A and B are shown apart, each in its own frame.
Chain A
């Protein structure tokens, strides 16, 4: 009787076998299927898994209701697997892919540090009366900023006051030098030249130097905020944050 538990791979099963198989199949099957008529065509089990075969030979004759019944209820004696092979492999590969994608994303996030050892972006630059007219280089090394004081109404739309220039050449990022004798900024790397306003006039620089946000702190000191920048070519120098009237 052990033969009845195996799927009959060939379609040509001997005719007498369904008859003695009926009681064994009934005891083994998920639900007591009707005894198979001896002359009924043998269910074609080629290529099918045991889970399809075990609910009984009636499944081959009535596949739709048998499948629906199988999904809805499950007998306590049913030892067929809960997931067929395809579903299991899909679940396994899916879980592996999801885990790998998560690991990759975590690695990517790892590359962006949360803590930086960099100088602060805002700094207080002293009181306005500590500055004379023209370019002041006292903050160039520490913060990368030139503080420029002007008083000519014709030069700036705002009149007299302060603005802060970034000491970063707009060509490729070197630090220009202030040449007071020639009244200009000149980059040593490739010769870009800028007027005191920051506007580029010679060399490969494509645009003027950028200005930083400048304002007055509560205690009256000049407050420079490098985290906000203003670009002339975008029309941003007219922004009130880009110039400190004093």
Chain B
């Protein structure tokens, strides 16, 4: 009696290559799990990846329902990443000095290849303010600020302030008339701070005998501008705040914000 041999169909070259690739030492050292075709592997994909492990392995169906979430929080984060990337590219061609700031911005449009990087950055900034506001509105309308989520709401409010400050500091960098006067007007508010502003209430009380401790060259506005008016000091300070200081702060708060959403059971779900 002859045995019937089952001959498996020979795998195509693509599959063969893939099978070889995923068993190389390099691959198995980078990816310590198989394809996400089993529940175990699906969990491992998220847990063994530093970028992904802030995400949950599973989410509720309501989490992707646009009518529930509007996806404005996610859009804000996406725009933040776009702004970070376009901002980084802009930094290769922009010098924050009185001599070069204005002409470098013009150069970004006229001389730099793909001359819409500055526009993309600016539109992204406008869009991010809008999406952040819509996100806040959605959270309010769905009551997602109620206990135990009050702290996350407060973190979100601080992030709103930081977003607006990022817009404010970035506005000065083109160093045109619009920028200088907007920041002059805005920073003049700082001199009216109680006690810390030289034109504010209580500033006259802070003096050692005859020597005033708070004056035009030594108050909150002076520290913000690095000078008594919006000049080279303000330009450099705002540049550093805009590119490094505020993004670091808002990134840390984003981590806290996302972590809190996860800890409270994931997005768009009951407690």
Binding site for B on A (CB under 8 A): 111-113, 116-118, 172-174, 189
Contact = CB atoms under 8 A, between A and B. Distances in A.
Interface of B: 181, 184-185, 188, 217-218, 222-223, 226-229, 231-233
Given A118-B228, A173-B188, A113 B233 contact: yes
Contact of B231 (A118, A172, A173, A174): A118
A172 B232 contact: no
A172 B185 contact: yes
Contacts of A117: 227, 231-233
A116 B233 contact: yes
Nearest to A112: B223
Given A172-B188, A173-B188, A116 B181 contact: no
Nearest to A172: B185
B154 to A, nearest CB: 23
Contact of A111 (B217, B223, B229, B232): B223
A117 B226 CA distance: 10
Contacts of A189: 181
A174 B229 CA distance: 12
Contact of B218 (A112, A173, A174): A112
Nearest to B184: A173
A227 to B, nearest CB: 8
Nearest to A229: B216
Given A174-B181, A189-B181, A113 B188 contact: no
Contacts of B218: 112
Contacts of B231: 117-118
A113 B226 CA distance: 6
27 contacts: A111-B223, A112-B218, A112-B222, A112-B223, A113-B227, A113-B233, A116-B217, A116-B227, A116-B228, A117-B227, A117-B231, A117-B232, A117-B233, A118-B227, A118-B228, A118-B229, A118-B231, A172-B184, A172-B185, A172-B188, A173-B181, A173-B184, A173-B185, A173-B188, A174-B181, A174-B184, A174-B185
